[in-house]
Amino acid sequence: MNRLRQSKNMYTFPYEIVDVDYKINTELLQYFKDDIWVATVPRSGTTWTQELVWLLAHDLDFDAAKQESLTERFPFFEFSLFVHPEVKAELLAKHFGDNKKLEFIEHFSRSGYKTLDEWPCNKRRFIKTHFPFSLLPPSVMQNKCKVIYVLRNPKDVAVSYYHLNRLYRTQGYTGDFHRYWDYFSRGLNPWLPYYSHISEAFEHRHLPNILILNYEDMVSNLRGVVLKLAAFLNCTISAEGLKNLTQHLDIKNFRENPSVNGSEMADVGLLLKGEAGFVRKGGNGKREELMNDTALKNCVDQWIHENTYDKN
């Protein structure tokens, strides 16, 4: 891992990003006002928000959403930076002769700018990223792309991110949550530190092309968030459409939806068996990793206090 600084903050990424891929992804392609970005700290409701945004912008075309995976409809801008060449080679060898799976492996391991550069001219671009604002391509802000930023309680983010790091072969974490929390709190996981990331988002909250959402609001008042997002995207939605959309996004339905639940990643072996699924529990406050460890819980609470005290 290496540390990348583009502003007053410093973030953790694989070493390759500093030398090659960051400049390639951010400087070789222009981004335009019509592009829509969903940006988050990992495990802050990203996938949920992507599906919501895409459906609102496509007149609630549920059939189209089910026929094409979210990874294809809404490319993950910098995911290729985390695909180690040896992991890719192993996956390609494992699926030799299966052209569909080989094509998908090549798809998720290519630089984000290549996928977006080849995007059909008549189709709007939807882009997922975990980059903080200071690491977004300069033309995103210069050309006033719409950016939806979602933030979530750091306790829930840490627990969910822990499980994701165990799930993905590209991450390969094998330790327990106690050790993981040490990494998380010190900003030693990709795309962290947490508070640097969200503070950059708040610095941009006054801009008309930026919308900041709270994951907890999505859980408690999804209908209200849908209407707020629809207004931001200049979309209209009927009462029936709102009902159908919230039902589609219900966590029980979402977890079983193969177009969003990571099933295509599991099929090629990118997700490890025996771990929690890509779409896990949803909701908030479900932190069994903290419930039975009072010392760790106190440590987490102290960390939050120290990082938010001066901001309140």
Query: Which residues are part of the catalytic machinery?
Result: 130
115: exposed, middle or buried (Cβ count in 10 Å: 0-12, 13-18, 19+) = buried
Element housing 148 (H / E) = strand 146-151
Element housing 162 (H / E) = helix 154-167
Q: CA-to-CA distance for 262 and 269, rounded, in angstroms?
A: 11
Alpha helices in 36-153 (DSSP H): 46-57, 62-67, 70-73, 85-94, 99-109, 112-117, 138-142
Element housing 227 (H / E) = helix 222-232
Tokens 């222009």, residue located:
30
Q: CA-to-CA distance for 233 and 231, rounded, in angstroms?
A: 5
